[in-house]
Structures are given as structure tokens and as C-alpha cells.
């Protein structure tokens, strides 16, 4: 089977100050005193991994083990310090739904703004607009400012914009909690239909039952190293034993 994502010898090093410096003033004073030291933190070490077409791939590990760093690399938010990453297909991250909306703008204006943040062009957004409004069930409120929306409406619009067209790769970083139960069902259906149509889904979750139910394969990361890649139950077992 062909791969969608390939990590080859990926290393990521963070350069972090050895003590927390909160303000610029403090930084300048410490710099003059020669007290600024950085240490290198290896967030990912020699990751070699292929994630396939249509696969649901889980990432588990402790906080700070490197799971979000992996997602950031795939979403090209961060580049590897060394190594090679190949991502075939467009990546859609499930944002904290509705991040980037502006309360003073209308729903209509926010759809275009949020679409632009996700990298779509004007032309693509014109084409998507009606489907987004329909899916979010906001036909009657679309020209009202978003500050008048309930949190459920807010989240519905966020989900609808983010998932209007099928992405080749979907990154899911947290449990989906969108609006009422009926709408949540609609969201899950949409994600499942993406999966049937070949979207690769990458899930980071702390809930092991979600991982074992949904994932085809799981990678357990510890201290930036991929300790195990394979079947979910096996990975979970190894992860639990290590704790």
C-alpha cells in the first residue's frame, strides 16, 4: 500500500532557556550579566515511520513525549532539525473549533476569514459557502454578528468550515465536543465517511478506549523516541507497562 506520510530519520531539537524568563527587561539584564543559557531538548529522535492511505493512526505517550511535535511536523508548522518528511496530500487540522473567528464580524464574514486561515482561495470559498451554511444549520443567522451566537452555533460553524471538503489527511488532537448530541452524531458521520473515502486520520488521545476502538495502528512515543509501532492493543499494553 502506498504511504501518505513518511518520516525518515527525523530529529527535532528545541532550544530552550534553562530558566524561565518572562519579560524582555529581565532577558536583557540577564544577557548583560551573561546568565542566559540554553539547553537543547530533543523533542523527537530518529523517527522513521510511514502512515498509509486511509489508515487511522494513533499516537500515544506521556505529556511532553513528542506527540504534538509529530502533529506539528505533519501540519508543516514546524520543520525537522534534521531528517526528511514527506506529506502527500492536503492536511486539515481539527482546530479548537472556531479559533480565529471574530465576534464582531457576521457569520458570513467569518466563514471567509476562517477559510482563508485554512489556506483556501476566494474562489474556493465562494463555492463552499452555501454547503457550509447548510451543514452548520445557520441559514437564519448568517448575517448576524458572531457575538450573538451560542457556543454551540459557534462550534458548529467552526466544524463546518474546517471539514467542508474532504482532506487527504485529518489531524485530530482532542475529543470532539461539538454542540448537541444530534450535531455530534453528524460530525462523527462526516469523519467516518471521510475515512471510507480514503482520508488518513491521525489521532492523539489520552483515552485508550478511543485509541483501541478506532485505530488501525498505533505508535507509542516516549522521550521523543518511537518505542513501538503496531497494533493498538499491543501498543497500549507496552505503554501501560512502562508507567
Return the residues of window 129-148 that contact other proteins according to CB under 8 A: 145
From CA 232, how far away is CA 215, in angstroms rounded? 7
Closer of 68 and 212 to other proteins (Cβ): 68
Does 176 bind other proteins (CB under 8 A)? Our answer is: no
From CA 91, how far away is CA 150, in angstroms rounded? 29
Closer of 201 and 236 to other proteins (Cβ): 201
Beta bridge pairs of residue 171 = 93, 202
* Angle, CA of 23, 27 and 31, to the nearest 5°: 175
Closer of 25 and 39 to other proteins (Cβ): 25
Return the residues of window 61-120 that contact other proteins according to CB under 8 A: 72, 75-91, 93, 95-96, 99-100, 102, 104-105, 109, 112-113, 116-120
Q: Please report how close the Cβ of residue 67 comes to other proteins at its closest, in angstroms.
A: 13
Q: 118 with 110: CB under 8 angstroms?
A: no
CA-wise closest residue to 128 among 166, 98, 155? 166
CA-wise closest residue to 111 among 121, 119, 99, 101? 101
Give CA torsion, residues 226, 230, 231, 236, to 10 deg.
Answer: -20
* Region from 12-20, 53-61, 176-184, 190-198 binding other proteins, contact rule CB under 8 A: 12-20
> Would you give the DSSP letter of residue 148?
G
* Region from 11-19, 50-58, 134-142, 223-231 binding other proteins, contact rule CB under 8 A: 11-19
The residues of the shown chain that bind other proteins, judged by CB under 8 A, are 14-16, 21-25, 27, 43, 72, 75-91, 93, 95-96, 99-100, 102, 104-105, 109, 112-113, 116-122, 124-125, 145, 165, 168, 173
Amino acid at each position: 500500500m502506498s504511504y501518505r506520510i513518511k518520516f525518515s530519520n527525523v530529529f527535532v531539537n528545541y532550544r530552550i532557556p534553562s530558566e524561565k524568563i518572562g519579560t524582555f527587561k529581565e532577558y536583557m539584564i540577564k544577557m548583560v550579566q551573561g546568565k542566559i543559557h540554553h539547553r537543547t531538548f530533543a523533542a523527537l529522535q530518529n523517527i522513521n515511520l510511514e502512515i498509509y492511505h486511509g489508515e487511522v493512526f494513533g499516537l500515544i505517550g506521556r505529556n511532553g513525549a513528542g506527540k504534538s511535535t509529530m502533529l506539528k511536523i505533519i501540519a508543516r508548522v514546524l520543520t525537522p532539525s534534521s531528517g526528511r518528511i514527506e506529506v502527500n496530500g492536503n492536511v486539515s487540522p481539527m482546530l479548537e473549533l472556531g479559533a480565529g473567528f471574530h465576534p464582531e464580524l457576521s457569520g458570513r464574514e467569518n466563514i471567509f476569514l476562517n477559510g482563508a486561515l485554512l489556506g483556501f482561495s476566494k474562489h474556493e470559498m465562494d463555492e463552499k459557502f452555501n454547503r457550509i451554511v447548510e451543514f452548520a444549520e445557520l441559514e437564519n443567522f448568517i448575517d448576524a454578528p458572531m457575538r450573538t451566537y451560542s457556543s454551540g452555533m459557534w462550534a458548529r460553524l467552526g466544524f463546518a468550515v474546517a471539514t467542508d471538503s474532504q482532506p487527504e489527511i485529518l489531524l485530530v488532537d482532542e475529543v470532539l465536543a461539538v454542540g448537541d448530541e444530534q450535531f455530534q452524531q453528524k460530525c462523527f458521520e462526516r469523519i467516518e465517511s471521510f475515512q471510507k473515502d480514503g482520508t488518513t486520520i491521525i489521532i492523539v488521545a489520552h483515552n485508550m478506549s478511543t485509541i483501541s476502538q478506532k485505530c488501525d495502528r498505533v505508535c507509542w512515543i516516549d522521550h521523543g523516541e518511537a518505542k513501538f509501532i503496531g497494533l493498538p492493543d499491543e501498543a497500549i499494553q507496552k505503554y501501560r507497562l512502562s508507567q
